[in-house]
Amino acid sequence: MLDENAVKSAVDGHWERALPVLEDYIRIPAKSPAFDPDWEANGHLGAAVELIRLWLDNNAPTDATVTVNEIEGRTPVVVVDIPALAETERTDTVLLYGHLDKQPEMEGWRDGLGPWTPVIEGARLYGRGGGDDGYSAFAITSALEAVIAGGGRYQRCVAVIEACEESGSTDLPVHLKQLAETMPDSFSDVSLVVCLDSGAPDYDALWITTSLRGLLSARLRVDVLERGQHSGLAGGIAPSSMRIMRQLLDRIEDSASGRIHLESFNVDIPSDRIDDAHAVAAAGVDPRRDVPFADDTRSDSPDAAEAILDSCWRPSMSTVSANGLPSLSDGGNVQRPYTTLGLSFRLPPTCDPEAAIAELKQVVEADPPNGATITLEVSEWAPGWNAAPAAPWLQAALDESSKAVFGRESGALGLGGSIPFMAMLGDQYPDAQFVITGVLGPESNAHGPNEFLDLPTARKVSACVAMILDAHAGQ
């Protein structure tokens, strides 16, 4: 029987040792390769890998093996192989996941804070990457130590800490393929996946992510002139590239409601996910409260349940960048030759992204308004993911660990963002159970200014993971 008090005490002690190292990690500008193309020469990702490797080497169970898997031209992956702490004939493995690469700086940090400056205020550790997802390596070692301290057990575990998640995890599949060949005992029979890179609507329970939206990023360009012309000469004769762009966007999206017109982007929402949304909303969760609306701006979602479904199960389009538009101080009275918009689509968990790309391309390129030149370039895409129902033993472990640590049963909710490799793992390990959780709650602002890690939640999630590992070993 796992001693829950010993688990909590071990987790607290472990995190006291971990906190200064986590602060050192925040100081490293280890931006993901998409934001630092010269990452290898600059050395920041390498420094973060070495910091995490050293921590794992010194704090993982004594029989663990810590290695850095390196492939030329790819970001490295830190791998920890931990033999079972149980007398068992089972050969299955628990795969534990985190990442150490970070988003770029972003403007808007308040005075006294910055992306590479760790600052503790109350229970919050500010700085880029603490909650997304540097804490994960420390949570993993904390959970393993707590199982040992509590007299529990775990099956063989393998922890993977990648360095490319914020760039779409493009390197991870290559690493996992190689690791499956070089470490077949650790990667061939995964029965439980624990991912520590998700979020929660509050800090009062262990929250499990049940679905993730997919991602489609594209650049849409409209060319109408070979070069810019005086607006008094060309205006009224040549069509504005922005007007043509508006017509194309109207083909994609209802400008009044934000609904996406394209059939392949929309899916039938499973009835159990609709039930989940209404149950969570009835319990007081409303994602609209976490959006920093300006002044009197209001949501398109009519109520909390619909807001959950809108953010987790319906497609959306955001215009995230633009070219061809001078700044207000530099723009003259010129009919511009072209407009390019960067479009970011979030796709429902069960949407086929390749079908979505094909329809998007057909819709915007067919019958160009005024014969304008229309160019669509897809720069990135990833499928979403929808979890299978939790096995009875796992649901019991989630609820019992959450009650023991947070004082409330666990919660389950979809996530509007993406964890690109989850669909790949779901396909690779179709019989595995998944625990997708994390520490990113209200105001934590991952990817934005003033990002923070809620330290009590990091400890509590670590303790819950320890109890789940013990339950998995005992089922």
Supply the pLDDT for residue 168. Answer: 85
| Segment 199-208, tens digit of pLDDT | 999 999 999 9
- d(CA 471, CA 391) in angstroms, rounded, equals 12
For residue 290, pLDDT beyond 90 = no
- d(CA 281, CA 75) in angstroms, rounded, equals 40
- Give the residue extent of every domain in the chain: 4-212+384-474, 215-280+304-382
DSSP string, 117-129: B-EEETTEEESTT
**Do 184 and 121 contact (CB within 8 A), yes or no?**
no
Neighbour-count burial for 210-226, b at 16+ CB within 10 Å, e otherwise: bbbbbbbbbbbbbbbbe
For residue 32, pLDDT beyond 90 = yes
Supply the pLDDT for residue 202. Answer: 94
Class of domain 215-280+304-382: alpha beta
**Do 168 and 422 contact (CB within 8 A), yes or no?**
no
For residue 121, pLDDT beyond 90 = yes
For residue 14, pLDDT beyond 90 = yes
Supply the pLDDT for residue 109. Answer: 98
| Segment 389-404, tens digit of pLDDT | 999 999 999 999 999 9
For residue 86, pLDDT beyond 90 = no
Name the percent of the chain lying above pLDDT 70.
100
Do 4-212+384-474 and 215-280+304-382 show the same overall fold?
A: no
Mean pLDDT of 46-71: 98
**Do 13 and 69 contact (CB within 8 A), yes or no?**
no
Tell me the pLDDT band of 447, cut-offs 50, 70 and 90: very high
Supply the pLDDT for residue 421. Answer: 83
Tell me the pLDDT band of 420, cut-offs 50, 70 and 90: confident
Gyration radius of the chain over CA positions: 24
Q: In this structure, what are the phi and psi dihedrals at residue 138, rounded to the nearest 5 degrees?
A: -75, -35
How remote is the C-alpha of 232 from its chain's centroid? Answer: 48
Lowest mean pLDDT among 20-24, 104-108, 419-423: 419-423
Lowest mean pLDDT among 26-30, 405-409, 418-422, 455-459: 418-422
- d(CA 131, CA 280) in angstroms, rounded, equals 24
CA-to-CA separations, 96 to 160, 408, 418, in angstroms, rounded: 6, 24, 18
For residue 87, pLDDT beyond 90 = no
DSSP state of 450: T
Query: Degrees (nearest 5) of the Cα angle 37, 39, 41?
Result: 115
DSSP state of 131: I
Supply the pLDDT for residue 418. Answer: 87
Q: What is the dotted CATH code of the domain comprising 4-212+384-474?
A: 3.40.630.10
Mean pLDDT of 217-244: 97
Note the pTM of the prediction, 2 decimals. Answer: 0.90
Q: What value does the mean pLDDT of the chain take?
A: 96
Task: Please give the structure tokens belonging to residue 358.
Answer: 């094909």
